[in-house]
Every structure is written in C-alpha cells, then in structure tokens.
C-alpha cells in the first residue's frame, strides 16, 4: 500500500450536520453515517484525517475544503483521497479503486447524481489553491467544471461509478430503491427514518386540516370592540 497516500474525511459532526440539512430529527442518521464512513476508511488501511467544523479554517465551503486538503499535503503526503459522510453506498472498494487508478491517472472522481462528487483523489502536483477556490462548490455545476478544467490542463482523469448522496428526504427514498447493498443496520435506520418522516408529514396535514376547519367555523363570529 502506498504510504504517501492519505484519506481526508471532510465531514461535520452529526449535531452540526443535522442543523444544516432540512431533515426532521436527523442527528441520529448522520451519527450512523459518520460511524459507517469511519469503518469504511479503516478497512482501507491508509492513514486518514478527519476535518469537521471543529478544526476547519475558512468562511466558505471552498475555503474550508481547500485548506483541509492543503493541511494533509503539508503532513508529507503526495496524494489525497477526500470523501464525505453522506453517501450510504460508498464502500471500501471505491477507495481502493481510487488508490489503484491514481497510479496511472492524475485525478480520480466519484461523481454524485446531484452534480458534485462523493470522492476526489488528487495528486499534490495537480493541486492549485487559487484554482480550487474558484470552483463552484456546492452547486450542480461542480463535477462539470472540474472535468472541463482537467481536460484543459491535459491531465488524466478516471471516473468511478456514480452514486447518490443525501441532501434531502427524497434522496433517502431514492437510495433505498437502488440495488446496491448497504449495511443492514443502516438500511433499517433509513427505513425507520422514512417512517418517522411520513408520520410527521401526515400529522402536519391533519393539523392544518383541523386549523382550517376552526377558521371556517369562526368565520362569522362577531369581532370584539
């Protein structure tokens, strides 16, 4: 195994993640994602570093991600494989495939269906801080922009399979319908979460219906003077 390659887990704590994404009671979900991500990384057998809101530097996502990558290079590593914590179908095999492909390619990307990526393998020789900061981070144009940039630099790019990450509740349902295997514990947690979301939704609908009826029946009430 190449001891000059390190993994960067760029993922916030479950509590912070739950506050940023529009889920009901999602802290337990991201807690499970973080635990699974750590297991996957440990199985790869590479040195790894975790960058969360507790140690990130920068005011924007692009600044924080760029600084996190730079900090790992400064530890003496030549190649970094960066991943997040919100792709349930990510497996150790994807990381090992990236390690293998980085022996012949300069950049490896694991594209996400939303236009971003769930994995980026990058050699230090192809890392440029200014260029990185200008990329359209957290947009659907990110993967396309990176691909265009790489082609213009005439460096070799390898794509892993496309996976789905989780940004909203509908993403969970889409992931559950994919044929790829996910751990039984995580699958059960996702099923439970969808069930909770349904109960919250229908409770909200019933509450709106009750309030609407109350408003209707009070429509002709005399106003107090």
Is 211 a member of any domain? no
Q: Are 6 and 46 in contact (CB under 8 A)?
A: yes
Q: In whole angstroms, what is the distance from residue 88 CA to residue 94 CA?
A: 12
Query: How many other CB atoms are there within 10 angstroms of residue 71's CB atom?
Result: 15
161 CB-near residues (< 8 Å, 6+ apart)? 94, 110
Is 175 a member of any domain? no
Q: Are 175 and 190 in contact (CB under 8 A)?
A: yes
61 CB-near residues (< 8 Å, 6+ apart)? 137, 138
Kindly tell me the sign of the dihedral angle through the C-alpha atoms of 32, 36, 38, 39. Answer: positive
Q: What is the pLDDT of residue 197?
A: 54
Is 108 a member of any domain? yes
Q: In whole angstroms, what is the distance from residue 193 CA to residue 200 CA?
A: 11
SS3 content of the chain, % helix, strand, coil (to 5): 50, 15, 35
Q: What is the mean pLDDT of each run of 10 residues along the chain (225 residues)?
A: 85 86 69 89 97 96 97 97 90 96 95 92 94 93 91 91 72 53 63 53 38 42 36
Q: In whole angstroms, what is the distance from residue 222 CA to residue 225 CA?
A: 9
Number of domains in the chain: 1
Is 85 a member of any domain? yes
Is 99 a member of any domain? yes
Q: In whole angstroms, what is the distance from residue 97 CA to residue 160 CA?
A: 8
For 208, the token pair is 């709106």
What's the angle, vertex CA 61, arms to CA 162 and CA 103, rounded to 5? 45
Is 98 a member of any domain? yes
DSSP lists the bridge partners of residue 51 as 10
What's the angle, vertex CA 107, arms to CA 56 and CA 171, rounded to 5? 65
User: What is the number of alpha carbons within 13 Å of residue 16 lying toward its C-beta?
Assistant: 11
Is 195 a member of any domain? no
Is 31 a member of any domain? yes
Q: What is the pLDDT of residue 187?
A: 63
Q: What is the CATH number of the domain that holds 11?
A: 3.90.550.10
217 CB-near residues (< 8 Å, 6+ apart)? none
Q: What is the pLDDT of residue 222?
A: 36
Tell me the whole-structure pTM to 2 decimals.
Answer: 0.76
3-state secondary structure of 163: strand
Q: What is the pLDDT of residue 30?
A: 82
Domain of residue 26: give its range.
Answer: 5-165
């Amino acid at each position: 195994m190449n001891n000059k390659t390190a993994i960067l887990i760029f993922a916030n704590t479950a509590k912070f993640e739950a506050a940023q994404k529009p889920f009901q009671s999602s802290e337990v979900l991201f807690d499970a994602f973080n635990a699974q991500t750590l297991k996957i990384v440990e199985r790869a057998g590479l040195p790894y570093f975790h960058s969360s809101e507790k140690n990130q530097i920068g005011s924007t996502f692009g600044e924080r991600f760029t600084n996190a990558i730079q900090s790992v290079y400064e530890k003496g590593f030549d190649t970094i494989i960066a991943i997040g914590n919100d792709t349930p179908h990510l497996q150790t095999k994807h990381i090992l495939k990236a390690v293998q492909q980085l022996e012949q390619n300069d950049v490896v990307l694991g594209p996400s269906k939303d236009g971003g990526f769930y994995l980026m393998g990058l050699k230090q020789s192809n890392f440029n801080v200014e260029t990185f900061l200008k990329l359209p981070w957290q947009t659907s144009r990110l993967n396309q922009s990176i691909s265009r940039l790489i082609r213009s630099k005439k460096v070799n790019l390898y794509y892993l399979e496309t996976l789905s990450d989780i940004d909203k509740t509908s993403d969970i349902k889409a992931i559950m319908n994919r044929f790829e295997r996910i751990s039984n514990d995580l699958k059960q947690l996702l099923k439970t979460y969808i069930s909770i979301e349904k109960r919250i939704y229908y409770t909200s609908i019933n509450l709106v219906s009750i309030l609407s009826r109350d408003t209707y029946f009070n429509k002709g009430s005399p106003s107090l003077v």
